[in-house]
Structure 1
Amino acid sequence: MATLLAVLALTAGTGGWLLTDRDSAPAAEHRATRPTVTVEQGALRQSIQLTGTLGYGSPRTVTGTGDGIVTWLPSAGVTVARGRQLYRVDDAPVVLFYGDLPLYRELAEPAPPEKPADDAPPPPPAQPQHGNDVDLVARNLAELGFYDGATEDATYSGSLVSAVRAWQSAQDEEPTGVLGPGNVLVSTGAVRVDSLTAQVGDPAATAVLSVTTTARVLTLDLAETDTTDVVPGRKVRVTLGDGTVVRTKVQHVGKPTPSDDGRPATVPVLVRPTRVGSLAGAESGPVTAVLVTAARHDVRYVPVTALLALAGGGYALERPDGTLVPVEIGMVADGEVEVDGIEAGASVVVAQ
């Protein structure tokens, strides 16, 4: 019988082999007691084990403006939608509007021109304000049911100012028709209060609170050295804290974040469930995940401990009767190795 060596371990990724002698001429009675396995046929997958968090994404700090005093704050964890107050300053609400830019100036109806002196020509009338901020106010008041005029190229006058006054009255506020950065916080959608920074009685022009989106967010921590095979659309199987398995796909790969303790940098990977509602009712907290980096389908495979490295080169499997079957090897994953040259279902010897 050919001289051979038994493979004890195969390290995926390095291709390293740890070999030991296997008896090349076992006694017949010894053969009958040696453990065997069946050559399987199916899929092999190389994967990375990850940890992560189910939460609401990165919080955003809300900083107030003006000279007022904070007089009311919400509780952490509450959700605030369009038209609802986020906090109060001088007992007046700071209300949430939806949009892509903040209010950056005070909006007010044009003041009437002053009466000219005797025999002087009248001054030209003041022009109403217009711009993206005016359109934002018009769109939000239209969605709240206070305005039915133009929401593009709108002017801050006439029906729009009347709508602002009506909305202010509905808020139990003085209907001045004036609106500024201290009255409205703009966000792309509803927000969830993450934490409070200020206290009642603090100046308004300070960091008041932090908010997040209301959508659940799954973020995984990936070692920077493992990012090569991670691209948007790749499938990831996530296990939540209660054991529920959620199938997701990579949505976004972030930038490396250096570690404070000298460990390798990690990269945040945002994944999204493939089925709507998969995260409904799930508690925030740590999660684990399996990211498949490579796969081979419909292949034959055996445990790496079944492989024999022949002294003359190459590899073989041993049948229970001692016959050696030369094989070609392929992918290695989770202690299994792809083999070609032997039929599926065959029994082969494994190292004890």
Structure 2
Amino acid sequence: MNARRFRLRTVALTAAVVVAAAAGVVAAVGFDGTDRSSTAAADTAPPATATVTRRTLTDAQTVDGELGYGTTRTATARLTGTITAVPDTGATVRRGGRLYAVDNDPVLLLYGSLPAYRVLEPGVEGADVEQFERNLRALGHDGFTVDDEYTGGTADAVRQWQEELGLPETGRVEPGRVVYAAGAVRVESHQAAPGDAAQPGQAVLTYTGTSRLVTVELDVDDQRLAKKGGAVDVGLPGGEPVAGKIESVQTVIDAGTGGAAGQSTEAETKIEVTVSLADPAKLAGYDQASVEVTFTAAERPDVLTVPVAALLALAEGGYGVEVVDAGRSRIVPVTTGLFAAGQVEISGPDVAEGMTVGMPA
């Protein structure tokens, strides 16, 4: 074989290891001289072949999900006394509504992302003040400026609000008097019943949002699939796929379970994805159900592809394929693109649709 031809040799390449993990087999070849291809002896013909095809290559994955109302959260008591009222399961509570009652006084739902964590009274400043004042204004009260300062005007408006609710008119807001949520909530279950003693930290009820959502848990390795705002397809039981959009992506810890020796499980990190549906009307007749969600991480239309196993890791770096023609073969370098479904996108001046390439046995 002259100096302008390829010669096979064994090398240790990090890239080869990566592709080997995806394809199972990757050969390593050396490249001598300046030619981009070279004819090998006929007796080195590969044991199997594949065809270079042109297609749309899609990196997609279908996983199980649950149709419901999104993430479940727990309302815990911050006041002492007796639970005297809880709403029915399935009930919707909106801004300013009673989430539950302690000693017959309401604990109220407001909208916001910050939890109530301190007493609000004249002189207090901060983002939690502005959040509360936005709610107070939305409930029809005025006489104050919505900002981060709790002023005497705020206190006067609070006294009017407390009078309407039948609460002591203190002008102060105790942290246990309000619960913040992103929006209206749907009561999912009761953790306490009227007559139960209330004490700080006690779970009273669980709630979700009011919109129909699909929740999916992904392995951390599949995080590439879930990008906020991305499009997905949701397969309902016995129905046509429904278009959906990724609303949120967050990392969660699945707590391990205890048990007898050898039966406990360790905590595991997961990616929790929440998906909204474009046509809620198609959910008629479904309350909660198992669904299938198809995520598409990437799509490359009209590209040349070969099986991943056809790639050869070149000793000089990069990849090539062994092109077989009329019983002889030559190795040509290629540029790789998307890897998906056992195929890889390739490009280069020496590859074309319909070519035959070598494969491992």
**TM-score using structure 2 length:** 0.60
CA distance in 2: counterparts of 1:175 and 1:42, whole angstroms: 71
Q: Is the 8 A contact 1:238 1:287 kept in 2?
A: no
Which residue of the partner structure matches residue 76 of structure 2? 63
Q: Cα distance 1:314–1:47, how it changes in 2: closer, same or farther (>3 A)?
A: same
Which AA in structure 1 matches 2:179?
A: L
Q: Aligned to 1:166, what secondary structure does the other structure show? A: helix
CA distance in 1: counterparts of 2:163 and 2:229, whole angstroms: 52
1:154-169 equivalences in 2 (<5 Å): 154-156=150-152, 159-169=153-163
Greater Rg by CA: 1
CA distance in 1: counterparts of 2:226 and 2:293, whole angstroms: 16
Which AA in structure 1 matches 2:84?
A: T
CA distance in 2: counterparts of 1:90 and 1:71, whole angstroms: 6
Q: Cα distance 1:43–1:139, how it changes in 2: closer, same or farther (>3 A)?
A: closer
1:75-94 equivalences in 2 (<5 Å): 75-94=88-107
Cα deviation code 1:34-90 (max 9, x no counterpart): xxx998532122433322233333322222233321111112222211111111222
Unaligned runs of 5+ in 2: 1-19, 27-49, 258-263, 311-319, 357-361
CA distance in 1: counterparts of 2:300 and 2:154, whole angstroms: 63
| 1:105 paired to 2:98 | no
Q: Cα distance 1:249–1:42, how it changes in 2: closer, same or farther (>3 A)?
A: farther
Q: Is the 8 A contact 1:253 1:270 kept in 2?
A: yes
Which AA in structure 2 matches 1:291?
A: F
Q: Cα distance 1:281–1:103, how it changes in 2: closer, same or farther (>3 A)?
A: farther
Shift of 1:251: 4.4
Which residue of the partner structure matches residue 214 of structure 1? 210
Which residue of the partner structure matches residue 4 of structure 2? none
Q: Aligned to 1:95, what secondary structure does the other structure show? A: strand
CA distance in 2: counterparts of 1:314 and 1:291, whole angstroms: 30
Shift of 1:268: 1.7
Which residue of the partner structure matches residue 303 of structure 2? 299
More helix by share: 2
CA RMSD of the aligned region, Å?
A: 4.7
Which AA in structure 2 matches 1:89?
A: V
CA distance in 1: counterparts of 2:168 and 2:65, whole angstroms: 49
Cα deviation code 1:123-157 (max 9, x no counterpart): xxxxx55434655554333221132322332324x
**TM-score using structure 1 length:** 0.62
CA distance in 2: counterparts of 1:233 and 1:106, whole angstroms: 35
CA distance in 1: counterparts of 2:246 and 2:116, whole angstroms: 33
Q: Cα distance 1:240–1:177, how it changes in 2: closer, same or farther (>3 A)?
A: farther
Which residue of the partner structure matches residue 29 of structure 2? none
Q: Is the 8 A contact 2:144 2:151 kept in 1?
A: no
Q: Is the 8 A contact 1:327 1:342 kept in 2?
A: no
Q: Is the 8 A contact 1:134 1:155 kept in 2?
A: no
CA distance in 2: counterparts of 1:174 and 1:314, whole angstroms: 78
Q: Aligned to 2:23, what secondary structure does the other structure show? A: coil
CA distance in 2: counterparts of 1:259 and 1:174, whole angstroms: 43
Q: Aligned to 1:69, what secondary structure does the other structure show? A: strand
Q: Is the 8 A contact 2:220 2:271 kept in 1?
A: no
| 1:150 paired to 2:145 | yes
Q: Is the 8 A contact 1:236 1:289 kept in 2?
A: no
CA distance in 1: counterparts of 2:267 and 2:133, whole angstroms: 50
CA distance in 1: counterparts of 2:130 and 2:344, whole angstroms: 63
Which residue of the partner structure matches residue 185 of structure 1? 179
2:290 to 259, 283, 286: 286
Equivalent pairs, count: 294
Q: Cα distance 1:343–1:64, how it changes in 2: closer, same or farther (>3 A)?
A: closer
Shift of 1:258: 6.7
Which AA in structure 2 matches 1:176?
A: E
Q: Cα distance 1:317–1:233, how it changes in 2: closer, same or farther (>3 A)?
A: farther
State percent identity of aligned pairs: 30
Cα deviation code 1:292-342 (max 9, x no counterpart): 4554432345899xx9xxxxx965679xxx999989797775466768878
Unaligned runs of 5+ in 1: 1-10, 18-36, 108-127, 308-312, 348-352
1:14 to 20, 23, 27: 23
Cα deviation code 1:172-208 (max 9, x no counterpart): x156345433433233432222221001101122321
Q: Cα distance 1:221–1:165, how it changes in 2: closer, same or farther (>3 A)?
A: closer
Q: Aligned to 1:254, what secondary structure does the other structure show? A: strand
Cα deviation code 1:85-144 (max 9, x no counterpart): 11122222222223424162375xxxxxxxxxxxxxxxxxxxx55434655554333221
Q: Cα distance 1:57–1:315, how it changes in 2: closer, same or farther (>3 A)?
A: same
Cα deviation code 1:272-297 (max 9, x no counterpart): 55xx8445663443332333455443
